[in-house]
Amino acid sequence: MSGKCKIYWGLWPFSVLFGIGVRVRNLLFDVGWLHEERFPLPVICIGNLTVGGTGKTPHTEYLIRLLQNSFRLAVLSRGYKRKSKGFVLASSTSRMEDIGDEPYQMARKFPAIHVAVDGDRCRGIRQLTSPQGAPDTEVILLDDAFQHRYVRPGLRILLMDYHRPVECDQLLPAGRLREPASGKKRADLLIVTKCPPTLSLEECERIRQRIQLLPHQEVFFTTLAYGKLYPLFMDAPTQPLDVLKDKEVLLVTGIASPAPLMEEVGRHAARITPLLFGDHHNFDGADMQQIAQQFHKLPETRRLILTTEKDASRLIGHPQLCEELKPYIYVLPIEVEFLHKGELVFNPKIIEYVRKNSRNSCLSEG
């Protein structure tokens, strides 16, 4: 893997203390003192060892596309930064504030699936599969739940950023690890994300050797793929990125790792003006004013606002977004593609697991 991990060594003593707590907690689960609950339907966990930026949402959406036409699918997320509490099952009237930006994004994009949020994933699964929830659910995708060990998923998928190898990282707060790198032993399938599209088979093999896979594990490699632009507020056809060649773009985004997005847009646009916010940033009135001010500085006949689907979920219903700007706001979808035809192995593994573990009953085994 590539890249160097920025470590805040002054915070390392706090990482030691954090590590003690995490290791003790994992040990209690490993020896059975803390109970992992199994559920009699396919449960797939998608997560990582680090905080933010590995591409969980695009990979979750990949699984949705893979499974939604054959199985009744549900996504269960924590609903980070939502204003509601407890279990919430998304509906056509749900607001972003009710379920969080990423669940809201998935609920809008995939209206045929169930999307729910609950910080307590065991309770969330029980509620989701109850008669009052979505009892027709056949498969559950647990979004960002690798450390939520009270649920014992049938299949664990671990995402690792190509540019930030976990082997060179440190625990929070000095680094970005939520738990020691040895936690990858719990994964069934590992995916190295955000790889260069030209990553060679030789480099893939070197990464395999570095990861030190266990006998039951397999590793895959994916890269980011950008789709066609579409207007956020207007009903108009999608357009290729090439339409940006004569445009001056105000790039408005609050995601964990904006650098690849800036690089991609920069390759196509005449000029970009980045307006960057923190991950999951809740836009306020001052932000709306700043966006408008930056937009009006651009040439009137060549300007355009570009954002991600995740950011769009926080903009689309914002009461203080200037009406004048809405026709100029476009969204750039982000998807993933497997390298070296890895999907020919990955896809059948997912489908085989779901088919072998499907059951009619959705009652917890305890």
Binding-site residues, please?
50-57
- Sheet order of strands, 43-48 included: 88-89, 114-117, 73-77, 139-143, 43-48, 155-161, 189-193, 218-226, 334-338
Amino acid, single-letter form, for residue 18: F
Which residue bears the tokens 């065991």?
122
Known binding-site residue numbers for ATP = 50-57
Kindly list the distances between the CA atom of residue 343 and the CA atoms of 80, 189, 199, 222, 348, in Å, as whole numbers in the listed order: 30, 12, 16, 9, 8
Q: Which two tokens stand for residue 128?
A: 């989701």
- DSSP structural state of residue 261: H
What's the Cα-to-Cα distance from 149 to each of 32, 134, 306, rounded to whole Å?
Answer: 11, 23, 38
Helix, strand, or coil here: 21?
helix
Q: What distance in Å separates the CA atoms of residue 307 and residue 232, rounded to the nearest whole number?
A: 9
Q: Which of 319, 323, 184 has its CA nearest to residue 192?
A: 184
Q: How far apart are CA 277 and CA 282, in angstroms?
A: 9
Q: What are the structure tokens assigned to 103, written together? A: 């669940």
The bridge status of strand 114-117 relative to strand 88-89 is: antiparallel
CA angle 254, 257, 262 (to 5 degrees): 80
CA 346 vs. chain centroid, Å, equals 18
